[in-house]
Amino acid sequence: MSELHELSAVALAAAIRAGEVSSREALEHAVARVDRLDGPINSVVTRDLDAARAAAAAADAAIARGETDLGPLHGVPMTVKDSFSTAGMRTTSGAPELSDHVPTEDAWPVAGLRRAGAIIWGKTNLPIYAGDMQSYNEVFGTTHNPWDLERTPGGSSGGSAAALAARFTPLELGSDIGGSIRLPAHMSGVYGHKPSYGIVPAHGQIPGPPGSLTQADLAVAGPMARTVEDLELGLSVMTGPDRWNSPAWRLELPPPRQRELPRFRVATWFDDASCPLDPEVATVLHGLSDRLDAAGCGVDREARPGFDLTKVAERFYGLLNAALAGGYSVAELEKFASAEGDGPVAVTKRQTAMRHRQWLSNNESRLQMRRRFEQFFEQADVLLLPVMPCVAFHHDHSEPMSARTVTTEAGTRSYWEMNRWMAPAGACYLPATVIPVGIGATSGMPIGVQIVGPYLHDHTTLAFAAALAELVGPCPTPPAFAG
């Protein structure tokens, strides 16, 4: 059997059920690896080992008794992002005012993982209130990328991605409103799935404040892992109606449109003047198109959904900033509304303070684009997009965030350009799966691709990701964490 830290969640669960390893042994192996290797990374920031060891002992006792009605993650130790409430375990969302907050209830996705048998022993780092493309805060400090300590692992699920890349956990729970699953998956070289909006109830996530019942526009919770099989399992145990709809409906997602790579109708959108790719990213992604062609998978490089990246990004940023407005006071919003100028700081402020009539206009435009995507996916099964125009960038914690710039192969770019390719799937509520497909020739950093599908066709993007993984190879390991 492979080293325990290299096993997928599915493989580890099978080994535990077969008696090849105990849940307690798997837990202690994970803890020891974090103790030995996480210091420079700083990904796992909170632990509750007493509760985890008791849960592992109970899982082992159930197997010893011969119980067969076991969940698919029975006895599997894992960590989750520190924005998700965990009963009895500190949950801070990186905020100093919540540094001692211990919830009494699990967030709904956490509860789903526990029902499946998972043992949640630790929490992973993030930016304060999950509000950045980097992962640092005053409570726990900065998380570094296992591929290059001078670079960010991404955000806001950066601790999640770093812990996966370093083989500290086989499965993670992330969240995504502006790319917070997809960006770290790309930057850290792991797998991530942003579900269709509304299929994973995320009650119990912070923000909003503890106890909030609102589920923000655009925001989703979803799995992160190192195999597609684990993404599928993680999604399956978390999906369902939210607390308001559970009396009346159940969820049954459509089956995959295809499973074999040559049978997929693939469109690629790798070029757009509003966010050109760095040469090393373009080389990997266009090379991927060529490999798909060679594998017998016809690729349409010209198909578009009827709008360009600029238009969907404008709507996305407007809707995103409006969704984040709840964290500001009325006085702050009134001040934001009067911001002058066309720079990124002023634009962000005005979008955050937009009137409801403006939001309604943005929403109608979003619905029109969703309709265009419905028509687009009548002719294609998946659309491949970049995740970012560049690889993981170097740490920059300067304020204000919207005034930051990023130096890349193609020159200096604005900070918000880093998540522009998040806009099509994000604004239009579409599922998007990210897997690593190559290593940058200049940087030596991982590069991912974003696999987007029709609304509610999550199993199609996951099935394509599984077929693509057979072509491009398994999840890469950062050199310092091999073995």
CB-side neighbour CA atoms (13 Å) of 364: 5
Report residue 437: phi and psi, to 5°. Answer: -130, 0
Cis preceding linkage at 400, omega within 30:
yes
Considering the candidates 156, 160, 289, 365, report the single residue annotated as catalytic: 156
Residue of 341, 27, 25, 318 lying closest to 178 (CA atoms):
318
Single-letter residue type at 43: S
Considering the candidates 180, 188, 196, 443, report the single residue annotated as catalytic: 180
Both tokens of 107, joined, read: 């967030």
Establish whether 338 is a catalytic residue: no
Establish whether 180 is a catalytic residue: yes
Considering the candidates 8, 22, 23, 81, report the single residue annotated as catalytic: 81
DSSP 381-411: SEEEEES-SSSPPBP---SSGGG-EEEETTE
Looking only at the bridges linking them, the beta strands covering 171-176 and 432-439 are unpaired
Establish whether 212 is a catalytic residue: no
The 3-state DSSP composition of the chain as helix, strand, coil percent (nearest 5) reads 40, 15, 45
CA distances, 465 to each of 4, 227, 340, 433, 457 (Å): 24, 9, 44, 7, 13
Place of tokens 């010209």: 302
Q: Catalytic residue numbers? A: 81, 156, 180
